[in-house]
């Protein structure tokens, strides 16, 4: 259940992007990622496949690593607080560090999965 909670935003986001692909493309282009269709497709793949890897504890390192890499990219593109001022900076700064916490959780889930594999094998 904890694994599902960890990846829930990514899984829902990936499914939502899949069913609203035009909006996903527009989102990527809004952040300056071109071609938008390619970045949207990659985001969908990583969000859905990575989430399933984490949920089912199979290739956890790959799924969590992909989701962490996607999160780093999003942090740098969408939460660039260092370029903003005022309320926008405050919001982006908070979001940046919330995402950093998610990355730490992906490292932890990968570590725990590797410990489980070593102790059972």
To the nearest 10 degrees (0 to 180), the angle between helices 60-78 and 2-19 is 60
User: At 120, is the pLDDT very low, low, confident or very high (cuts 50, 70, 90)?
Assistant: confident
Per-residue pLDDT, 118: 87
| Whether pLDDT at 90 is above 70 | yes
pLDDT of 121 higher than 80: no
Helix (H, G, I), strand (E, B) or coil at 62: helix
What Å distances lie between residue 112 and 14, 23, 45, 60, 76, CA to CA? Answer: 25, 36, 24, 10, 27
Average pLDDT value for the chain: 96
Give yes or no for residue 117 having a pLDDT over 90: no
| Span 98-113, pLDDT tens digits | 999 999 999 999 999 9
Distance from C-alpha of 70 to C-alpha of 112, rounded to nearest angstrom: 21
pTM of the model: 0.93
Segment 72-87 shows an average pLDDT of 94
């Amino acid at each position: 259940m904890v694994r599902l909670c960890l990846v829930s935003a990514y899984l829902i986001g990936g499914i939502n992007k899949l069913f609203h692909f035009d909006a996903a493309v527009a989102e990527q282009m809004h952040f300056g990622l071109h071609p938008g269709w390619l970045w949207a497709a990659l985001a969908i793949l990583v969000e859905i496949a990575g989430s399933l890897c984490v949920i089912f504890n199979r290739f956890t390192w790959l799924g969590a690593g992909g989701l962490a890499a996607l999160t780093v990219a999003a942090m740098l593109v969408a939460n660039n607080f260092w370029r903003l001022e005022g309320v926008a900076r405050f919001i982006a700064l908070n979001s940046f560090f919330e995402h950093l916490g998610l990355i730490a959780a992906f490292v932890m889930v990968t570590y725990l999965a590797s410990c489980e594999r070593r102790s059972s094998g």
